[in-house]
Chain A
Amino acid sequence: MSDVPVIVVPEQIQGSWTNLVVLTYSAHLDFFETHLLRQLSRVPNRIVLADDRRLADQFATAARSGQRLGQANRTYLAAPIRNPWAAHAKAVLLTTSTAGRLLVGSGNLGPDGYAEPGELWHRYTYDDGIGEHVDVFAAVRSLIDGIATRGWLDPAAVAGLTRAWSSTPWLPPRPAARQPLHHNLDTPLIEAITAAVDGPISLLTVHTPFYDEDVATLGQLLDRLRPERLRVLLTPDTSVDGERLAAVVSRPGTAVSLDRVGVADAPTAFLHAKIIHVVGNKREVLVTGSPNLSRRALLLPAATGNVELAVIETRPPGGFASLYTPLTVQPLSASESLTLTFRGGGEKAPTDALALLYSELRGNVLTLVFTTATGPGVPELFFPDGTALLALTAEGDGTVFRFRLADTDVERLTRGGRVDVRAPGCAEGAEPEPTWPYHVDALRGRMERVGDNRLLMSMGALPHTDNDLFALLRQLEQTLIFDPETAWKVAGARAAAHAGEEGDAERERVRWEEIDWERLYRHPRYRGYQRSRGPDGEPTSEIELILSSIAARLNGVTGSPTAQEQDDDLGAGSEPDDADGEKQRPRGLSVSTRTRMAYNRLAVRFTVALHDTVFQEKLGPTLTVRNVVILGHILRELLRDDVIDPGRAITAQLASWSFLWGPDKLVASLTGEERAAAEQVLTEVRARQTTLRALCELTGYDVDDELRRAVRDQTQELLLSPTLGLDQRLLALTAPDARQAAALVANLRYLAGDYTDREIIEQMAAHWGIGTTSVAWERGKVQRSTGQGCPPRQSEVEVDLIRVQEPIAGLTVERAGTDLVRLASLLIVTGVDLDYVRIRYAQGRDVAYWDAVAGEGICYVGSDEKELTELRPEFPAWWQRLDDLDGRAAPAVARCSPARSHQRPSALV
């Protein structure tokens, strides 16, 4: 079944859309809230339209079993469709102002309908500019609008839909051309099916899980289509009267087979898909979607039947062959067909008993709307724990009641959940009716608060799904101007081409000379970088919002906006302790190659742009400071979550630190107001502390030699950078605890002193002005005093020494002493606890050594000899800066301290 396309429905229902509209018969709101909403957290307008009775059942069960459904009708709409019979259509519509995704199929909102095999779906996508499938989307809109105009929706749902359509300008109210979606608002579906069929029919295959009690609809279909052969696919769960079925299908001129069908690799799956497959000579027609073979689904319009939505597709013969690949089909035995029974249920006649239709919260006013007039008096309202709501005023006409509530009650209501309502005059002891009020203001507010770049606003912490992570990248590209490519898109010589996700590889190199800078400076995206605050001091521009989100994150405000929205998470934390003890590591973000590669590319582009000084100059400090802060933050988070190649991320980090703090670089070059403005941003986002912490975190990575050296050199530079200004005060701000501050210094020391043995050779060779091939480490035997005895005993021991194979011009005992100082200092810097250093020169028996244990040394050059009684290392300035910071006295290498015997292994390998 590898060539049969499959779809994982929850994976389709995520991303940074603006609107979500779900049509469903039953709505498993718990599934929706605890799982789907997590991946829809960036979608402001979320609407679930479900069959009224099924939804009421769902709410009643939730109320009875103490389920809070704290987000229902508050962060999303869960609204009933009040048509007379079942609202049975199933679709998922996702839109933004420029794009759309639509699923139409057989599954209801819930784990069965969305997460299990056994359902059939169609998927359509729309992208502005391509424009494909717009009529399919329009067909769904016309169904939804038709439901609304028939008065089957509550006002809050209608308002939500209005918001959806107005933010989806490309979506017309009705299709302009033929397309495969059909609903039954005006015309029964059987008409559309018959119309699609042409000519004699050789085979009709049907499968639906539900039939009429009298199997009349299948009979009607046979009357209309008169197929030569009929194949009825059945499962043990098909709700049909076996005997009646046999009677209905047995007719002259039609060969009938009753087959047992199942999902091949999921034998226990419930086959809920609906299939009417008509095979003619010239073409085949496949009907899928919501309708069962029942009267109200196929034969009646919505006024007297259900609301249904079908996909009626026509293809050349054989066009639907792969449909059956994942199924097992075998003849049904006669005895099996007898066990088939009609289960009934499902279709309940409309009633007009007194019931609460819906409730709405607007400001402090809670409105209740009943189906018919209640008895005299006003309803009583309770919270789930039994506390009564305090109504300051209450007015009503018997059907509609308005309560002005106390602030504390409103505050409690706005946290979500239900209100229990006891209608006036209802029986003593009767259970109150639960209602989840529409939070009209909150629902509207969600839409108003956010623009199209929602991911950016919560960028302090990275999003949790791969899709959102990927979307964040696109939004960054659409918000920032940080490299020639982004600049060119804003103000390139030609109008920017459609920025395809896949086309990057072939994208021609952008020449920034083509950028129209004047146009760029006028562009809203450029102006978005200017500091702007609303009247309440709240940031208004997107850049400011991003920066404040980063600042909040660095201030320890870590919760993502959805965190407070979550109810008690039943799934998490309920697992007992794992006795076997191989627990999962926390949050292993699973990231696709696509996303990883895209961020790798971002890092490279950013690095290249930072090195392009002319371009950065053109951008100006306002942009560059903010870019470095924002992208630097992202890089650090990506690195920490293992979303990016460490090599590329670290390279970009180094470039950004150098760009920001380097001598004569950005900050250093600014003066006056410009400098003050930059400093304000840097202070708000704690850029100096962040730089130090991020730098310090690099000790955790194994990188290649070249990058390791770059990290070392950059660290040395930053330690001495006057603009970064690493001093006691900054250190204390970065690591408030003394020991942790020491750890930070230790890590900086480690990074800055990261010389391999090979690099020590290089340093010494440069010092002597000779080629590195003439200098080498080697093991050699020397006489040394050992032990602490007095007088110390001499014995032969192996040591590492440096051999120079080329004569050094002008070598004297003094210069040899300097060489020892140099070598000893280098070794100490690399973290070696100095014990013994020896340099063997090329000529004669020239040698110099220092024995730190004995506290003595000697230089022989030619016939000269100089005894050493002390060796004072000379350290680089960055080392002294670190010594100042951790108050560590510079080691005078007169004696080796016996307590510290640890050696950094790599230094002498």
Chain B
Amino acid sequence: MTSEGETTGPFWAARAYPRGSGQDHLGLGSVSSDRLLAGLSPGVNVLTVHPRYWSFYAFLLDEFWARDLPRSQAAFRDFYRPREALYSFACQLCEQPEHETLTSGVVGSRRTYSVIGQDKFDPAFDYIKEPLGGYGLYYRTVMESMGLVVLTDPAAGVVFDAPTPEGRAVAAGYRSAVGGTRFYRDYFATCDTAVARDVLAEFAAAGCLCRLRTAATADLPLLQDVFLHYGEPEEAERRRATFRFFLDFCRTTQAEAVSQDRFRQLVYFRELDGERYEPLPGVLGTARRWRIYQAREYFAFAFNRLWAWVTRRGLELSDDGLTLVPLGRLWTVITEELDDNDFCGDLSDPGITADMPGRAFADWLTGHVDITPGVDDLWPRHDELDEHTLYAWCANDEDDAGTLLAMLAILLLVHRRLCTPGRQADLGDDAALLAEGGGQRIGMTRFYELLHRRLTANQTIAELLQWIIIDFVIVQHERVATAKLPHSGDTFRFRRVGDALRFFPADAPTAFNDSRFGALSTIAHELGLVSSLAWERRELTASGLALLADGDLPTGAVQQAAAEFHQESRGE
């Protein structure tokens, strides 16, 4: 600049936040994961898939504490990384029959897999970026919540993560499984030389993730006890109830594997492939809460799918973001397309247009989909109009009027099934789950209260969609993207500017949130309760049958095994 003194401008403004792709653009995911699922399966999350990692990490911590090493993150990292790297190799070299049902979730396998063909394996292999690997990334906090470790806390005088007596008991269990292996005897102590294939394979035969099921004299009974009884008592009870529920429903539709998609349908409708699932009386409450969870997933999907609709259609209307799109123009497009929809397909069209009252649309829907059965009953499927069918029909990027109507239909069906005042009363205390999300993350209770008023006021399909898109898609997206600016960058897909919308070119994926089905079913299987849910013809083990019948298994294994360590920590 040519002006004298300090430059005062003019300055062009620069972008303050880099563009980011982001996820969960309406911020609804945390209602599922942090609230509903946290209540249904405390201590297990999407990525804590293999129960034996609880043993393995407790074991590594215990071995670390048995050595004269500084108790610092750096010292533990140096001890931990070579051993987990080799474990990652071992779990892929495993030749045991049980390994057939272990398909994923080996920490570090993304990198270790690429060199699995070698003859010798280097403990210094950089198997993962995170300094404390799978422990630091996924398992550390859940192990704490189940009482196996205490975590570093300078203010409380916890110098470094340490196994509790219970954690040491589990570690000892694991050690008894692998103590006789050549790897443990000859390599583990220093872990500074390459290890041959057969040595790791032999170690895997004893210590692989898959071999927990056979470790009846080692860590298996301890982990069963931990998963069913440890952590906060109330949390343990809910976790136990969920495992029992899994053992219950997995006995239906035996001809097929249970996938997450089939799980959702079983949970929600209790009918699949013409087969019915009737929960055991003791499982009914848990089954109901899982059903509410899945209702929330359909509900959230509807908004997310409308968001994707607006994003993609907006980019089209705005010449890939080059021009503003007046909101009025968006409404015109929606109205015109609604008037020319083919939502009904082979069903007789009751005259679905933009002007059709929402209530009439809902009546027509429930004329086909039988929503009369109560909150604990089986909900009959409908080939063309039930929630899952509509979801599957729209789980793509076809953004037409049919999609708009299908999403509205999902919201209306969930409303009448679970969220009318009468149905909420039937849910009793569980109705509180519908309120999760509140005003910030589209709580169902609040949304349906507002929807009810609009239906009563005889608002049309177009009016309802306009309201939903403005208040729960556009405004919600703006809020979430605004909140993410500092850490995730600019993830806006669109934003209001006066009475128009600006669009930003970026993708708009939509999917359900992970239901933790993968983790929960794998844990149930690997804890030796049931054959793999990913296979046909599930069979419950003796323990599984006992848990299903009694709602619990005997406890005490951990307490007994931990007794000596309790004594030790009291300095006796």
Q: Does A369 contact B (CB under 8 A)?
A: no
Pick from B68, B128, B154: contact of A746, CB under 8 Å = B68
Q: Does A582 contact B (CB under 8 A)?
A: yes
Contact A65 B476 (CB under 8 A): yes
Contact A575 B504 (CB under 8 A): no
Cα-based distance from A35 to B12 in the complex (angstroms): 21
Contact B505 A111 (CB under 8 A): no
Q: Does B386 contact A (CB under 8 A)?
A: no
Q: Does B146 contact A (CB under 8 A)?
A: no
Determine which residue in A105, A554, A567, A574 has the highest number of CB atoms from chain B within 10 A of its CB, and name it.
A574
For B28, list chain A residues within 8 Å (CB): 574
Please report which residues of chain A, range 551-592, place their CB below 8 angstroms from some CB of chain B when the two chains form the complex. 553-556, 558, 567-583, 585
Pick from A7, A111, A738: contact of B571, CB under 8 Å = A738
Contact A119 B12 (CB under 8 A): yes
A106's nearest neighbour on chain B, judged by CB, is B13
**Shortest beta-carbon distance, B134 to chain A, in Å?**
8
- Sorting the interface of chain B by its residue count into under 10, 10 to 19, 20 to 34 or 35 or more gives 35 or more
For A746, list chain B residues within 8 Å (CB): 68-71
Cα-based distance from A444 to B1 in the complex (angstroms): 42
Contact A739 B3 (CB under 8 A): no
The stretch from A40-48, A694-702, A805-813, A855-863 touching chain B is A694-702
Contact B475 A115 (CB under 8 A): no
Pick from B12, B107, B486: contact of A571, CB under 8 Å = B486
Cα-based distance from A59 to B54 in the complex (angstroms): 50
Q: Does A781 contact B (CB under 8 A)?
A: no
For A237, list chain B residues within 8 Å (CB): 323-324
Contact B497 A747 (CB under 8 A): no
Q: Does B138 contact A (CB under 8 A)?
A: yes
For B138, list chain A residues within 8 Å (CB): 581
Contact B72 A35 (CB under 8 A): no
Chain B positions 3 through 16: 1 when the CB is less than 8 Å from some CB of chain A, otherwise 0: 10111111111111
Please report which residues of chain A, range 111-164, place their CB below 8 angstroms from some CB of chain B when the two chains form the complex. 111-112, 114-125, 132-133
Q: Does B514 contact A (CB under 8 A)?
A: yes
Contact B10 A576 (CB under 8 A): no
Contact A735 B159 (CB under 8 A): yes
**Shortest beta-carbon distance, A196 to chain B, in Å?**
15
Q: Does A345 contact B (CB under 8 A)?
A: yes
For A693, list chain B residues within 8 Å (CB): 154, 157, 159
Please report which residues of chain B, range 395-448, place their CB below 8 angstroms from some CB of chain A when the two chains form the complex. 438-441, 446
A749's nearest neighbour on chain B, judged by CB, is B68
Contact B14 A66 (CB under 8 A): no
Pick from B12, B137, B505: contact of A581, CB under 8 Å = B137
Q: Does B513 contact A (CB under 8 A)?
A: yes
Contact A30 B29 (CB under 8 A): no
Cα-based distance from A413 to B215 in the complex (angstroms): 59
A694's nearest neighbour on chain B, judged by CB, is B154
B472's nearest neighbour on chain A, judged by CB, is A65
Contact A5 B9 (CB under 8 A): yes
Given A570-B441, A576-B513, is A6 in contact with B29 using a C-beta cutoff of 8 Å? no
Pick from A30, A133, A316: contact of B479, CB under 8 Å = A30
Pick from B8, B322, B486: contact of A124, CB under 8 Å = B8
The stretch from A265-273, A496-504, A659-667 touching chain B is A265-273
Contact A581 B130 (CB under 8 A): yes
B158's nearest neighbour on chain A, judged by CB, is A740
Pick from B29, B72, B110, B482: contact of A747, CB under 8 Å = B72
Q: Does A789 contact B (CB under 8 A)?
A: no
A32's nearest neighbour on chain B, judged by CB, is B482
Please report which residues of chain B, range 23-65, place their CB below 8 angstroms from some CB of chain A when the two chains form the complex. 23-24, 27-30, 33-34, 45-47, 65
Interface of A (DSSP majority class) = loop
Q: Does B310 contact A (CB under 8 A)?
A: no
Contact A270 B46 (CB under 8 A): no
Contact A236 B323 (CB under 8 A): yes
For B33, list chain A residues within 8 Å (CB): 576-577
**Shortest beta-carbon distance, A208 to chain B, in Å?**
14
Cα-based distance from A268 to B499 in the complex (angstroms): 18
B17's nearest neighbour on chain A, judged by CB, is A115
Q: Does B202 contact A (CB under 8 A)?
A: no
Cα-based distance from A133 to B8 in the complex (angstroms): 10
Cα-based distance from A554 to B155 in the complex (angstroms): 6
Q: Does A744 contact B (CB under 8 A)?
A: yes
Q: Does A647 contact B (CB under 8 A)?
A: no
Given A116-B15, A699-B75, is A111 in contact with B70 using a C-beta cutoff of 8 Å? no
Q: Does B2 contact A (CB under 8 A)?
A: yes
Contact B46 A739 (CB under 8 A): no
B2's nearest neighbour on chain A, judged by CB, is A319
Chain A positions 305 through 349: 1 when the CB is less than 8 Å from some CB of chain B, otherwise 0: 000000101011011101100100000000000000001011000
The stretch from B219-227, B260-268, B488-496 touching chain A is B488-496
For B93, list chain A residues within 8 Å (CB): none
Q: Does A288 contact B (CB under 8 A)?
A: yes
Q: Does B333 contact A (CB under 8 A)?
A: no
Cα-based distance from A24 to B317 in the complex (angstroms): 30
Please report which residues of chain B, range 134-191, place their CB below 8 angstroms from some CB of chain A when the two chains form the complex. 134, 137-138, 150, 154-160, 162, 189
Q: Does B341 contact A (CB under 8 A)?
A: no
Q: Does A67 contact B (CB under 8 A)?
A: yes
Cα-based distance from A176 to B47 in the complex (angstroms): 67
Cα-based distance from A693 to B160 in the complex (angstroms): 11
Contact B16 A11 (CB under 8 A): yes
Contact B16 A9 (CB under 8 A): yes
A578's nearest neighbour on chain B, judged by CB, is B47
Cα-based distance from A132 to B6 in the complex (angstroms): 9
Given A267-B322, A345-B498, A738-B570, is A567 in contact with B6 using a C-beta cutoff of 8 Å? no
For A585, list chain B residues within 8 Å (CB): 130
**Shortest beta-carbon distance, A501 to chain B, in Å?**
15
Q: Does A777 contact B (CB under 8 A)?
A: no
Given A35-B485, A237-B324, is A697 in contact with B154 using a C-beta cutoff of 8 Å? yes
Cα-based distance from A86 to B14 in the complex (angstroms): 27
Q: Does A195 contact B (CB under 8 A)?
A: no
**Shortest beta-carbon distance, B531 to chain A, in Å?**
26
For A735, list chain B residues within 8 Å (CB): 157-159
Q: Does B536 contact A (CB under 8 A)?
A: no
Q: Does B279 contact A (CB under 8 A)?
A: no
For A35, list chain B residues within 8 Å (CB): 482-483, 485-486
Pick from B46, B154, B483, B488: contact of A576, CB under 8 Å = B46
B16's nearest neighbour on chain A, judged by CB, is A115
Q: Does B326 contact A (CB under 8 A)?
A: yes
Contact B162 A569 (CB under 8 A): no
For A521, list chain B residues within 8 Å (CB): none
**Shortest beta-carbon distance, B63 to chain A, in Å?**
11
Cα-based distance from A236 to B500 in the complex (angstroms): 13
For A567, list chain B residues within 8 Å (CB): 440
Pick from B155, B483, B498: contact of A570, CB under 8 Å = B483
Contact B137 A583 (CB under 8 A): yes
The 4 A-B residue pairs with the shortest CB-CB distance in the complex, in nearest-first order: A66-B439, A571-B483, A699-B70, A122-B9
Between A and B, 14 residue pairs with Cβ closer than 8 Å are A7-B9, A66-B440, A67-B479, A111-B482, A112-B495, A114-B16, A120-B9, A132-B5, A568-B441, A571-B27, A574-B24, A699-B75, A737-B569, A750-B69
Residues of A within 8 A of B (CB): 4-11, 26, 28, 30-31, 34-35, 38, 61, 64-68, 105, 107, 111-112, 114-125, 132-133, 236-237, 263, 266-268, 270, 273, 286, 288, 311, 313, 315-316, 318-320, 322-323, 326, 343, 345-346, 384, 553-556, 558, 567-583, 585, 689, 693, 696-697, 699-702, 733-741, 743-744, 746-747, 750, 831, 887, 900-902, 904
- For the complex with contacts A120-B9, A744-B71, A904-B68, 13 further pairs of A-B residues with Cβ separation under 8 Å are A35-B486, A66-B438, A66-B439, A236-B322, A266-B15, A318-B2, A570-B480, A573-B30, A576-B24, A581-B134, A700-B73, A740-B160, A901-B189
Residues of B within 8 A of A (CB): 1-3, 5-17, 22-24, 27-30, 33-34, 45-47, 65, 67-75, 107, 110, 128-130, 134, 137-138, 150, 154-160, 162, 189, 319-324, 326, 438-441, 446, 471-472, 475-476, 478-488, 490, 492, 495, 497-500, 502-505, 513-514, 569-571
